[in-house]
Chain A
Amino acid sequence: MPRKKLPPITEAFRGITFTRRALVVGGAQAAVGVALAARMAYISVVDNDRYVLESESNRVNLTLVPPRRGWIVDRSGKALANNRVSLRIDIIPDRLHNKEMVLGQLQTLLRLDGDTMERINRDLKAASGFQPVAIKEDMTEAEYSSILVRLPELSGIAPQRGFARNYPTGAAVGHLIGYVGAPNAEEYQKVKDPLYITPGYKIGKDGLEKYFQDMLKGQPGARRVEVTARGKVVRDLSTQPDVQGKTVHLTIDADLQEFVARRMGRESGAAVVIDCQNGDILSFVSMPSFDPNSFSDGISSSEYAWLRADDHQPLINKATRGLYPPGSTLKPVAAIAAIEHGIDPSERHTCIGGYRLGSRFFRCLGRHGSVDMATAIMKSCNSYFYWVAHRLGYDAIAPTAKLMGLGEEFQLAGSNQRFGTIPDSAWKMKKYDQPWSASDSLNAVIGQGYVSVNPLQLAVMTARIASGRRLYPRLVNRQFKNDPLPFSAEALATARHGMDLVVNEPGGTAGRSKLPLDGITMAGKTGTAQVRGLNTGNGKAGTWKFRDHGLFIGFAPVDNPRYATAVVIEHGMGGSRAAAPVAKDFMTFLFDREKAMEALATFEAGWGGTIKERMDRDYAAWKAGASKPDPDLAQ
């Protein structure tokens, strides 16, 4: 590009150039200055609202105060689950900067054991963002203040004075009430409720705690605080109190519940007591159990492992999820069915120590000679019922059993039931594609073979026999129609009479379990359920796992039934030996508490203390044993 010839540059010309260019520079600076002023005006005037909001949301932190959970009380208002003040500290993973240092400090300050540290590390890994991880709950004032003092150096630590769920009777209500726990990440994802990531907030995880979660949860309080960028609280701005959850009233009798649980002793089993007037469940026990208090505090992995390792299965609710062959406890039902199908209860059959069916000989427990129906129940004569079953066929008996509630799943709050089987020919055809045989009928009538029921069903069955009405079990005040059963009075009376004889007639199978009371008698029926075929032992001794189950059903008082019960003692070797004495004691408790407590005191002295004392000792022993072969686990 040809350029224009410029005039020679002189000093004067250079001076003018300077002035012009200096003004250009100055002008540019002024323009930038004006632009900056305009920008600032824009931010602080036009965008002011938005930024005021953002600065407020920076400054003010809304903390939810977990609501106090509603109580769960028994029929007389006694607490089965309540709250107690609890001092706790949590870690907010997002705010934890120097993890090793902080955890190390906590371990020394709070003397946390290896177990706890392991759980904390596991929880920290699983926790998301701001979801708090419990370090320690139920701290003493001294521990709590030792943390408060060092709070500035412990990043991510959130101390809190809150409430913890408390179960006054501990393991006695484990399966009934369930337990609460901190919500996990999945549960939070489902509801997206900020309360779910608030430290100290617990939701029902099992049993009634879970079933009545909505009623029990309450309304959270809120606390507006001013916080620094690091999350340090500067001052409180305002607080709104929480609203406690509603109280759940159960039909349970707390004292009875505890007594039954304690009376079960070291046995594994279940016991259900039902009020024959309305179906109220007065006690609902499955033992051994877990202590729901330890679950609420965040159970340690070794305690959980201990529970899982126990062959008595403390984590399974045997009252609703344990299925057992009911054995002879089904005989009163067979008797009712027999009368309804035209068998005269006074008709006699001769027991020759068994019953011959074709080429097979079905054994009886003894040689009872000539028995009528009531005597057959009293002596638990298999031969008599083999004869009945052979005559009627089980298809005639099964509908009666079903009417009694066997094989039925009840609408019961918070329970997760396995409802077992009352077999008939259609069932067998469907399940095994085989016709029903006469020997199936014989097995079924004595509660063996394909028959399986849970203890709750047995208790309902007993309550229905005792009341003559179709009672439904209930844990809360819930209306059922409870219509009369379509059976003749004679049929029901015969069954009840037979059961009366079982306990109160010399020679009855539960004669030793007569109530030690004046004027009040209990009727009942024992049952012994084979666990394995006789080839693995005779069921009366040997390995615990292969021993027979002991069952007992009963009601009292005989003349005006009020309480019905079913007890199952796993591998108890026989109903009269293991189950009936337990029922006798808690039935006694219902009428004479002092007398029953005396008996219990003697038993517990032999067993090594109360449930909690025994559990603590067992756990300690297990931990000591478990840590020996595997030294890594102890650290």
Chain B
Amino acid sequence: MIPVPPAIQRIPWKLIAILSGITGFGLLVLYSAAGGNWSPWALQQGVRFLIFLTAALVIGRFPLRIFEDFSYLAYIGVLLLLLAVELLGFVGGGSQRWLNLGFMNLQPSELMKVTIVVALARFYAQLPPGNTRTFTALWPALVMIGLPAALVMLQPDLGTALSICIGGVVVMFVSGLPFWWFGSAAAVGAAALPILFSFLHDYQQKRVLIFLDPESDPLGAGYHISQSKIAIGSGGIGGKGFLNGSQSHLDYLPEGHTDFIFATMAEEWGLIGGLALLFGFFLLLRWSTRVALKARTRFGQLAATGLTMTIFFYIAINLMMVMGLAPVVGIPLPLFSYGGSSMLTIMTCVGIMLAIENDSKTGTRRFH
């Protein structure tokens, strides 16, 4: 046997293969969406992936301790950034989400998706076991989730706010808070839906209503969903073939390279391509779930579960949206959609989970 140097052994080849597989497939779709061109999307996306992947691998070498120690600081920092967005962020695409840092446009709400999970994991890791079923276990978490979620809703960005909430709630759930709290919260939430609905912006309300009855606006907001379903449905089992999708190439599918990229892919690759991509995501999530189950520290367990959920939420909401199962909310498909912010978030999650994985390989497990 050829001896493999430990430095190379330590590189998570399997994970890199999964990530590259998904992104590589995405690059083919972007190449096709640009009418058979590497520009303007595919090449840039590829370069960006390489940079972020390297960054994730580097983050993964950091000791886990650092993330735990800096989690509150990071949380407060990102919260301040969100406040700054409210105060001096600029308006783009009808909502106020970005901070212009000069060299790039930063979207702090994306950072919050990661930060909230890490901060809550830290909180529950520190919480004495005996307090798990007390009010002490509840209210700080609710405040920590509520503040950023409210700020993001003000932007307004319903998708990201939901993502922050779901990441936080999952951390609360796996940290062992009483089951019935979630059950009753869900019941209250369901009852309060009409009230919550009234807090939504007009255009968000419209999206929800149109989602419930797409025929009411076939040329307006319902257009996205129906064209997306046409693209997916017309692909059939085998698809129309690479570079042969008419829906995306003839501009019938809006946002065919970002939010609706799955439809672009499904039209040309069919059900087979769709299932392959789902399988890729399954492998990624299975890896991250295993990282959580094998984590050596409680912080690692909770953070990994929450980050898995964050990635999953992206995938699930995006796919439900393009298949007409959810209203149109601006959530990209991880690694697949063209765009830097979401890839940055996903790769940060992956990096932190790599750190958790490395941590559990080095030390002894404290839990069963």
A contact set with B: CB distance below 8 Å: 6, 8-19, 21-22, 25-26, 29-30, 32-33, 36-37, 39-41, 43-45, 47-48, 50-52, 54-56, 58-59, 226-230, 234
Nearest opposing residue in chain B for A40, CB measure: B274
Determine the chain B residues whose CB is within 8 A of the CB of A18 once the complex forms. 174-176, 298, 301-302, 305, 367
- Is the beta-carbon distance between A43 and B250 smaller than 8 angstroms? no
Determine the chain A residues whose CB is within 8 A of the CB of B275 once the complex forms. 37, 40
- Is the beta-carbon distance between B132 and A41 smaller than 8 angstroms? no
Known: A8-B130, A14-B298, A50-B233. A36 touches B251 (CB 8 A): no
Chain A binder among B50-58, B112-120, B224-232: B224-232
The complex places the Cα of A227 from the Cα of B252 at a distance, in Å, of 10
Give the distance to chain A from B168, nearest Cβ to Cβ, in Å.
13
The complex places the Cα of A25 from the Cα of B368 at a distance, in Å, of 18
- Is the beta-carbon distance between B233 and A22 smaller than 8 angstroms? no
The complex places the Cα of A22 from the Cα of B230 at a distance, in Å, of 37
With A25-B170, A44-B266, A226-B250 known, 9 other A-B pairs at CB within 8 A are: A22-B293, A25-B173, A25-B309, A41-B271, A51-B233, A55-B234, A58-B230, A228-B250, A229-B251
- Is the beta-carbon distance between A15 and B368 smaller than 8 angstroms? yes
Determine the chain B residues whose CB is within 8 A of the CB of A13 once the complex forms. 129
- Is the beta-carbon distance between A58 and B174 smaller than 8 angstroms? no
The complex places the Cα of A33 from the Cα of B237 at a distance, in Å, of 18
Determine the chain B residues whose CB is within 8 A of the CB of A58 once the complex forms. 227, 230, 246-247, 250, 252
Instruction: Check if B282 is an interface residue, CB within 8 A of chain A.
Output: yes
Instruction: Check if B236 is an interface residue, CB within 8 A of chain A.
Output: yes
Chain A binder among B10-18, B66-74, B312-320: B312-320
11 contacts between A and B (CB under 8 A): A9-B130, A16-B368, A22-B293, A25-B174, A29-B285, A33-B278, A40-B271, A51-B230, A55-B246, A55-B247, A59-B252
Give the residues from 271 to 321 in chain B that come closer than 8 angstroms, CB to CB, to chain A: 271, 274-275, 278, 281-282, 285, 289, 292-293, 298, 301-302, 305, 308-309, 312, 316, 319-320
The complex places the Cα of A234 from the Cα of B251 at a distance, in Å, of 11
The complex places the Cα of A59 from the Cα of B251 at a distance, in Å, of 10
Known: A45-B236, A48-B236, A51-B230. A36 touches B320 (CB 8 A): yes
Determine the chain A residues whose CB is within 8 A of the CB of B252 once the complex forms. 55, 58-59, 228-229
Determine the chain A residues whose CB is within 8 A of the CB of B266 once the complex forms. 40, 44
Give the distance to chain B from A7, nearest Cβ to Cβ, in Å.
11
Determine the chain B residues whose CB is within 8 A of the CB of A50 once the complex forms. 233
- Is the beta-carbon distance between B174 and A44 smaller than 8 angstroms? no
Instruction: Check if B214 is an interface residue, CB within 8 A of chain A.
Output: no
Which of B229, B234, B270, B316 is the one whose CB lies under 8 Å from A32? B316
Which of B173, B227, B233 is the one whose CB lies under 8 Å from A43? B233
Which DSSP category, helix, strand, loop or mixed, fits chain B's interface? helix
Nearest opposing residue in chain B for A37, CB measure: B278
Most B Cβ at <10 Å: residue of A10, A14, A19, A55: A55
B309-351 vs A, CB cutoff 8 Å, 1 = contact: the mask equals 1001000100110010100000000000000000000000000
Nearest opposing residue in chain B for A53, CB measure: B234
B223-259 vs A, CB cutoff 8 Å, 1 = contact: the mask equals 0000101111111110000000011001110000000
Which of A30, A52, A226 is the one whose CB lies under 8 Å from B236? A52
Give the distance to chain B from A2, nearest Cβ to Cβ, in Å.
14
Nearest opposing residue in chain B for A35, CB measure: B325
Determine the chain A residues whose CB is within 8 A of the CB of B65 once the complex forms. none
B contact set with A: CB distance below 8 Å: 129-130, 132-133, 170, 173-176, 227, 229-237, 246-247, 250-252, 266-267, 270-271, 274-275, 278, 281-282, 285, 289, 292-293, 298, 301-302, 305, 308-309, 312, 316, 319-320, 323, 325, 366-368
- Is the beta-carbon distance between B176 and A9 smaller than 8 angstroms? yes
The complex places the Cα of A47 from the Cα of B298 at a distance, in Å, of 47
- Is the beta-carbon distance between B251 and A21 smaller than 8 angstroms? no
Which of A8, A48, A54, A227 is the one whose CB lies under 8 Å from B250? A227
Known: A44-B233, A44-B271, A228-B251. A17 touches B176 (CB 8 A): yes
A-B contact number at CB 8 A: 150
Nearest opposing residue in chain A for B238, CB measure: A44
- Is the beta-carbon distance between A43 and B251 smaller than 8 angstroms? no
- Is the beta-carbon distance between A44 and B278 smaller than 8 angstroms? no
Give the distance to chain B from A26, nearest Cβ to Cβ, in Å.
5
Determine the chain A residues whose CB is within 8 A of the CB of B366 once the complex forms. 11
Determine the chain B residues whose CB is within 8 A of the CB of A227 once the complex forms. 250
Determine the chain B residues whose CB is within 8 A of the CB of A6 once the complex forms. 133
The complex places the Cα of A8 from the Cα of B129 at a distance, in Å, of 8
Nearest opposing residue in chain A for B127, CB measure: A14
Give the distance to chain A from B247, nearest Cβ to Cβ, in Å.
6
Give the distance to chain A from B12, nearest Cβ to Cβ, in Å.
20
Give the distance to chain B from A585, nearest Cβ to Cβ, in Å.
65
Give the distance to chain A from B140, nearest Cβ to Cβ, in Å.
18
The complex places the Cα of A333 from the Cα of B186 at a distance, in Å, of 104
- Is the beta-carbon distance between A19 and B173 smaller than 8 angstroms? no
- Is the beta-carbon distance between B368 and A40 smaller than 8 angstroms? no
Nearest opposing residue in chain B for A54, CB measure: B230
Determine the chain A residues whose CB is within 8 A of the CB of B170 once the complex forms. 25
- Is the beta-carbon distance between B285 and A36 smaller than 8 angstroms? no
Give the distance to chain B from A31, nearest Cβ to Cβ, in Å.
11
- Is the beta-carbon distance between B293 and A19 smaller than 8 angstroms? yes
Determine the chain A residues whose CB is within 8 A of the CB of B325 once the complex forms. 36, 39
Determine the chain B residues whose CB is within 8 A of the CB of A41 once the complex forms. 271
The complex places the Cα of A32 from the Cα of B323 at a distance, in Å, of 13
- Is the beta-carbon distance between B278 and A10 smaller than 8 angstroms? no
- Is the beta-carbon distance between B367 and A11 smaller than 8 angstroms? yes
Which of B237, B278, B298, B305 is the one whose CB lies under 8 Å from A36? B278
- Is the beta-carbon distance between A59 and B293 smaller than 8 angstroms? no
The complex places the Cα of A285 from the Cα of B127 at a distance, in Å, of 106
Give the distance to chain A from B331, nearest Cβ to Cβ, in Å.
14
- Is the beta-carbon distance between B229 and A51 smaller than 8 angstroms? yes
Determine the chain A residues whose CB is within 8 A of the CB of B132 once the complex forms. 9, 14
Determine the chain B residues whose CB is within 8 A of the CB of A48 once the complex forms. 233-234, 236-237
- Is the beta-carbon distance between A44 and B316 smaller than 8 angstroms? no
The complex places the Cα of A348 from the Cα of B350 at a distance, in Å, of 128
- Is the beta-carbon distance between A40 and B250 smaller than 8 angstroms? no
Nearest opposing residue in chain A for B128, CB measure: A9
Known: A36-B316, A45-B237, A51-B234. A234 touches B250 (CB 8 A): yes
Give the distance to chain B from A224, nearest Cβ to Cβ, in Å.
14
The 3 closest A-B pairs by CB, nearest first: A51-B233, A15-B367, A55-B234
Nearest opposing residue in chain B for A21, CB measure: B174
Which of A17, A22, A33 is the one whose CB lies under 8 Å from B292? A22
The complex places the Cα of A19 from the Cα of B227 at a distance, in Å, of 42
- Is the beta-carbon distance between A59 and B250 smaller than 8 angstroms? yes
Nearest opposing residue in chain B for A26, CB measure: B289
- Is the beta-carbon distance between A43 and B232 smaller than 8 angstroms? yes
Known: A17-B176, A58-B250. A25 touches B129 (CB 8 A): no
The complex places the Cα of A234 from the Cα of B250 at a distance, in Å, of 8
The complex places the Cα of A600 from the Cα of B334 at a distance, in Å, of 87
Determine the chain A residues whose CB is within 8 A of the CB of B230 once the complex forms. 51, 54-55, 58
Determine the chain B residues whose CB is within 8 A of the CB of A19 once the complex forms. 293, 368
- Is the beta-carbon distance between B237 and A44 smaller than 8 angstroms? yes
The complex places the Cα of A29 from the Cα of B232 at a distance, in Å, of 22
Give the distance to chain A from B6, nearest Cβ to Cβ, in Å.
30
The complex places the Cα of A228 from the Cα of B230 at a distance, in Å, of 15
Nearest opposing residue in chain B for A11, CB measure: B129
Give the distance to chain B from A216, nearest Cβ to Cβ, in Å.
38
Determine the chain A residues whose CB is within 8 A of the CB of B229 once the complex forms. 43, 51
- Is the beta-carbon distance between A33 and B274 smaller than 8 angstroms? no
The complex places the Cα of A55 from the Cα of B234 at a distance, in Å, of 7
Give the distance to chain A from B251, nearest Cβ to Cβ, in Å.
4
